[in-house]
Amino acid sequence: MSDAINQNSHYQGLPFWSYGFRPFFFSAALFAGVAIPSWVLLVNGAYDVERLFPPREWHVHEMVFGFLPCVISGFLLTAMPNWTERPPMRGLPLMLLLALWVTGRLVITLPWFSPLISVLIDGAFLVVVAGIVWRGIIAAKAWDRLPMGLLISLYAYANLLFHGLLMSHASADVAVRMALTIIMVLLAIIGGKITPGFTEDVLAEEDMLKKPAPFSPFDGFSIVFLGVAGVAWMISPESMGAGYAFVFAGVLHFFRLSRWYGWLIWREPLVLILHVGYSWLAMSFLILGGAILGIGVHQEDALHALMTGAVGVMTLAVMTRASLGHTGRAKHAGLLTVIIYLLVNLGATLRVFGSSLDLSSDGSLAVAAGCWSGAYLLFVISYGHILFGENLKEE
């Protein structure tokens, strides 16, 4: 581990502000645990409040541009010192960055602010994160990380576009499709890096001869083709070409996943869950492609395969492992962690397939939301003391 990482153990401030994953993972989990039940109560008429955006747009924005950027920021602020050999962001700068994210949630949720104020504050967060990523890439000459800087910059633009379209009283769906395409590619890149890497570690510990396939031109092609499918969908969401492209992308990414030998590490849920999350990602491409072609579930349910399935499972997989590993704890999933994984998968399954199983739409939505948000609240409860506490040992 680099000196930049090891410096974390000598930080004299509060441990919570010593590394990006601590405040951002905790805040993202708490937000997910509260925002989803609030939205379910809102759509069921339990209360009526005025917001900057209508209920559907608020829900979409806060999951796509609120919750997920918080998780991504925690991941990037933790990974970048390894990429760049530079010290991590901590202390006051980290506090200010989190405060900007929290303020963005408030100006979107409360009706007291004008659309202009909201876009300036909420839109600034991803712009700042993109600036931090670019600064690290340029300072360290880490040119192999250029795709990450480009994707985060496009993500920031998609959020600004979302605000701009709604301020113009137009549909913001194209901005959402742009963001979801970026999310798909980000998950394919990040998941394709950490999943085989951690799997190889477990296989080596168990003295197995099998090793996940290294990154190859096939992996690069599968990611690029996914991006092409996403752009086609962004431009023409009902086109047959986009539908077939997503189906083919799903096949490519399931084959990619099969080359990592996930079934051999079933005894370690902390790594197995990454394979489950990537299978949700590949399956979301098949489901979305089928929906566009008029096969299977509605396109909105297909998008939940991406957001509640792939995003939900993979974010919790990363959050649990990073919280354990970067605080010097054993990288092993205990009972509560396994329950977290079961809850998020159950919630995603009910959200995507509940209507197809002839379950009551209101009932399945409530149970799905309870399971999914419950997984994040259980993370807050079971990992909160880890994120606020001292490291057990140097990494």
CATH number at residue 356: 1.20.210.10
Contacts of 19 (CB under 8 A, 6+ apart): 8, 77, 78, 88, 90, 326
Give 6-36 pLDDT, tens digit per residue.
444 445 568 999 999 999 999 999 999 999 9
Q: Are 304 and 181 in contact (CB under 8 A)?
A: no
What are the structure tokens assigned to 267, written together?
């005894």
Task: Label residue 172 left, alpha or beta by phi (over 0 means left) and psi (-120 to 50 means alpha).
Answer: alpha
- Supply 87's token pair: 């010290």
395 domain-assigned: no
Residue 394 inside a domain? The answer is: no
Q: What is the DSSP letter of 20?
A: T
What are the respective helix, strand and coil percentages of the chain, to the nearest 5?
Answer: 75, 0, 25
Supply 270's token pair.
Answer: 């902390």
Amino acid at 155: Y
How would you write 46-85 as a 3-class SS string?
CCCCCCCCCHHHHHHHHHHHHHHHHHHHHHHHHHHHHHHC
For residues 274 and 192, the answer to whether their CB atoms sit within 8 Å is no
Say if 227 falls within a structural domain.
yes
Quote the pLDDT of residue 392. Answer: 81
Residue 1, pLDDT above cutoff 60? no
Beta-carbon count within 10 A of 213 CB: 13
Torsion from C-alpha of 55, 60, 61, 64, nearest 10 degrees:
160
Q: Is 315 exposed, middle or buried (0-12, 13-18, 19+ CB in 10 A)?
A: buried
- Token match 């998780």: residue? 71
Mean pLDDT of 150-165: 97
pLDDT over 90, % of the chain: 71
CA 114 to chain centre: 29
DSSP letter string, 175-193: HHHHHHHHHHHHHHHHHHH
Tell whether 393 is covered by a domain: no
End-to-end distance of the chain based on CA atoms, in angstroms? 7
- How many helical (H) and strand (E) elements, i.e. helices and strands, does the chain have? 15, 0
Read off the tokens for 369: 């939301």
Asked whether residue 36 is assigned to any structural domain, the reply reads yes
Quote the CA–CA distance of 28 and 20 in Å, as a whole number: 12
Where is average pLDDT lowest: 60-74, 139-153, 255-269, 353-367?
A: 353-367
Range picked from 35-39, 253-257, 389-393 for highest mean pLDDT = 253-257
Amino acid at 392: L
> Mind listing the pLDDT tens digit for each residue in 325-350?
999 998 899 999 999 999 999 999 99
Q: Which two tokens stand for residue 54?
A: 């209508």
The predicted pLDDT at position 4 comes to 39
Cα(390)–Cα(17) distance, rounded to whole angstroms?
11
Residue 172 is assigned to a structural domain of this protein? yes
Backbone angles phi, psi at 280, to 5 degrees: -60, -40
Total tally of structural domains belonging to the chain: 1
Per-residue confidence (pLDDT) for residue 38, from 0 to 100: 84
Using a 10 angstrom Cβ sphere, with 0-12 exposed, 13-18 middle and 19 or more buried, the burial of residue 330 is: exposed
Domain assignment present for residue 68? The answer is: yes
Residue 295 inside a domain? The answer is: yes
Range of the domain at 205: 3-388
Band (pLDDT 50/70/90 cuts) for residue 395 is very low
- pLDDT value at position 49? 66
For residue range 163-203, list pLDDT tens digits in order.
999 999 999 999 999 999 999 999 999 999 999 999 999 99
